[in-house]
Structure 1
Amino acid sequence: MGFIPDEVVIQILARLPVKPLFRTKTVCKLWYGLPSDEYFIKLYNEESAKNPMVLIELINSTESKSSFVFVDNSRGVSEFSLDFLLEKVKIRASCNGLLCCSSIAVKGVYYVCNPMTREFKVLPRCRARPLTLFYPDGEATIVGLASDLSRNKFNVVLAGFQLTSSHRQDGTFACLVFDSDSNKWRKFVTFQEHNFTHMNRNQVVFVNGSLHWLTGSCSYILMLDLNYDVWRKISLPDEVRYGTGNRVYLLECDGCLSLIQISDTWMKIWVMKDYERELWHMVDKVSLGCIKGLVHGIFPITQTGEHVFLASHKQVLMYHRTSRVWKEMFAVKNSDTLPLWFSAHAFRSTIVPCN
């Protein structure tokens, strides 16, 4: 075989899944050092951003058992496990290859882990007053994870209404932020009222150094600036805000804030092109005639400029925006499993430390 330049080899290896990549470390000294090389990590994470995945926790309602799968456009469906955490956990948030999980047995115990490298960190217990209990989880109203790949750091956010000693809300919306650099929690409060449904609080988007949630009324986006610990409201497009009969979902698209608006017949994709002036542009309008019977049960999970992944009660669908073709990527066989949109998260395979 002829000589292959190192740069070509690096480009090839940057397109491998994490597990096969780590197995190649035994080949030679160059390959051994790649997963810890700053240039290679940046290249690998940039490539992974082009290949979104859907992470699903399959919850068997009759047997009270859970299993986990990735649904990937290029590699199909693969199983994975969180058994390295040594206890049962619930996935609360996903961001740039990291997961924030909460202990099922002990309330207030949180983990941040990379399921690909099986690294994890147990977060120190926070001594602040508990936040509002939210059925059925009995935990903070909203949980957010911000994984900053450029700085190799992460933040975990717990937010909700504070409880008094008599377990009543005192009207104070409190926010607890864990910073991986300092390994400490910080707290700040506000007196604004916010409304979140179960699914709205699960769809949290990290862009521009801030976390974003769509409020339950779909009247605005609530943004948390992690650099200054400031909450801010972001307006929705007029068509979305004043429209009727639509469902709205908050996603990320190639580093930008995005909304997906679904009616009985159309799926419209909006992207915020100017973050400071809050200028939205509709970048695609998709007919839903091909999946007419599934429209009322689909829930967008993740997207890029090319693909949109959506979960229904029993399926994961992918829409290719260039070819305008729908494809079933995964289907549940067990009728006892809870709806997939109930426990589906956006994911991407990255090399990012969490401890």
Structure 2
Amino acid sequence: MDRARRAKELVANKNSMIYMDLKDIVKDHALPFLPAKSLFRFNGVCKDWKTQIRSPFFAHKQSTSFSDVSGFFLVSASTVPSFISIDSMAYGVPDPSLKFLPEPVDIRASSNGLLCCQGREGYKAYYICNPVTKQWKKLPKPNADHGSDPALVLIFEPSLLSFVAEYKLVCAFPSQDFENGHEFEIYSSKEGSWRISGEIFYGGGSVVPRSGVYVNDIIYWYASSGRILVFDLKMERAQLLYGHGYYDSILGVIDGKLCSAKAQGTGVTISVLSNAYTNTMQMHSSVKAWERKLTINLTPAPVPSTAGSSTGSLLFASGNLVLYRCGSKLHSYNLRTKETLYIGDELYHGTFVPHVNSLVEI
């Protein structure tokens, strides 16, 4: 009898979800998957939604649920930053120029809603900020000189188990003590300090700023030699990897793997890293480092910015999104929906930094 009664109660509890109001279902199970700009607009739906959206717990849940690239900051040394949205109705930031920071800045890197910015004055301090909430933190001065255009990678992976945004900032910089060497300095928000790794890497030429990509505890930068500098963040070891040449290709992440995208003909070819150790194998080995994943035909096609060269036509390729220029016009292509969208004109040349419209709190 007791067993039968417990079984009926269990079925009743499961069925109770059917009788929830639609507004409660949306509030609890849909809102966390929406971008920040849309959520700010939904503040006016009702008092209950407003209270929900403004709670720290909801901000944390949204930051772990929403991860789509929402747009790009266009950065130039001669102008203030501006923001180009993939969908202006859904995605946006209240102050694209980042005037809420204490000084003019250049955006150096981004990761899952956070930006790494560098001041243009004094010793050029680093700031970590969320452009949606206008929260920011000034980092302590690094131990080493990172140069005028540092090769930085920001690493932030939201976790349901951590209510505090824990992140790392890694810089590959030319060594002042060892000729033709590169060293690595790491900032940890958990420790609140910088630390220079004991690893020193020789060869490969200079590291290309803003080319860095983080995948599964490993950071990849293009080097001026056309090869890829690899830094294992756990082992703190570096090596060189054969690449496709940074002049006409870019690095990204697709399906959890490092990818290299290259503009070719009327579209884009994307290859994924299948073997990172081909440089240690015997000569004439049939094992290849890169495996072609897909070729995308684009309409309109990426038009080279320089006659006879594809340099500069492909701007971003990671996750489900490809960003490219056709003349002065910018287009995005969604790998999931197969849609191509015109998202705006490129008013001036600069660097495109991806942004996730997140409510993550610093």
TM range (shorter): 0.7 to 0.9
Residues 63 and 360 of structure 2 are in contact (CA less than 8 Å); yes or no, is this contact kept in structure 1?
no
Structure-2 change in CA distance of 1:53 and 1:331 (3 Å): same
Residues 144 and 185 of structure 2 are in contact (CA less than 8 Å); yes or no, is this contact kept in structure 1?
no
Match of 1:86 among 99, 102, 118: 102
1:291 aligns with 2:296: no
Match of 2:64 among 45, 69, 76: 45
User: How many correspondences in the alignment?
Assistant: 321
Residues 303 and 309 of structure 1 are in contact (CA less than 8 Å); yes or no, is this contact kept in structure 2?
no
Structure-2 change in CA distance of 1:83 and 1:3 (3 Å): same
The corresponding residue for 2:281 is none
The corresponding residue for 1:149 is 158
Deviation of the 1:139 alpha carbon? 4.2
Partners in 1 of 2:230 and 2:72 — Cα distance?
Answer: 24
Deviation of the 1:14 alpha carbon? 1.8
Per-residue CA shift, 1:290-341, capped at 9, x if unaligned?
4264473412324333x31224663321124467554321114x5xx3x1xx
In the alignment, structure 2 segments of 5+ residues that lack a partner are 1-19, 279-287
Structure 1 counterpart of 2:57, one-letter code: D
The corresponding residue for 1:56 is 74
Residues 218 and 230 of structure 2 are in contact (CA less than 8 Å); yes or no, is this contact kept in structure 1?
yes
Structure-2 change in CA distance of 1:45 and 1:27 (3 Å): same
Deviation of the 1:143 alpha carbon? 1.5
Alignment of 1:326-337 (within 5 A): 326-332=340-346, 334=347, 337=348
Between Structure 1 and Structure 2, which shows a larger proportion of strand residues? 1
Say which SS state the counterpart of residue 72 (structure 2) adopts.
strand
Alignment of 1:165-184 (within 5 A): 170-184=179-193
Give the TM-score of the pair, scaled to structure 1. 0.76
Per-residue CA shift, 1:222-243, capped at 9, x if unaligned?
222223322233444xxx47xx
Structure-2 change in CA distance of 1:195 and 1:7 (3 Å): farther
Deviation of the 1:282 alpha carbon? 2.1
CA RMSD of aligned residues (A): 3.5
Q: Which has the larger radius of gyration?
A: 2
1:347 aligns with 2:355: yes
Residues 132 and 357 of structure 2 are in contact (CA less than 8 Å); yes or no, is this contact kept in structure 1?
yes
Say which SS state the counterpart of residue 60 (structure 2) adopts.
helix
Deviation of the 1:29 alpha carbon? 8.6
Structure-2 change in CA distance of 1:44 and 1:182 (3 Å): closer
The corresponding residue for 1:163 is 176
Match of 2:214 among 206, 209, 217: 206
The corresponding residue for 1:97 is 113
1:316 aligns with 2:295: no
Residues 54 and 301 of structure 1 are in contact (CA less than 8 Å); yes or no, is this contact kept in structure 2?
no
Match of 1:123 among 119, 126, 139: 139
Structure-2 change in CA distance of 1:9 and 1:254 (3 Å): farther
The corresponding residue for 1:10 is 28
Match of 1:195 among 194, 205, 220: 205
1:247 aligns with 2:260: no
Comparing 289-298 and 262-271, the one that deviates more: 289-298
Deviation of the 1:76 alpha carbon? 7.0
Deviation of the 1:212 alpha carbon? 1.7
Structure-2 change in CA distance of 1:218 and 1:54 (3 Å): same
Partners in 1 of 2:354 and 2:234 — Cα distance?
Answer: 24
Deviation of the 1:54 alpha carbon? 2.1
Partners in 2 of 1:246 and 1:289 — Cα distance?
Answer: 23
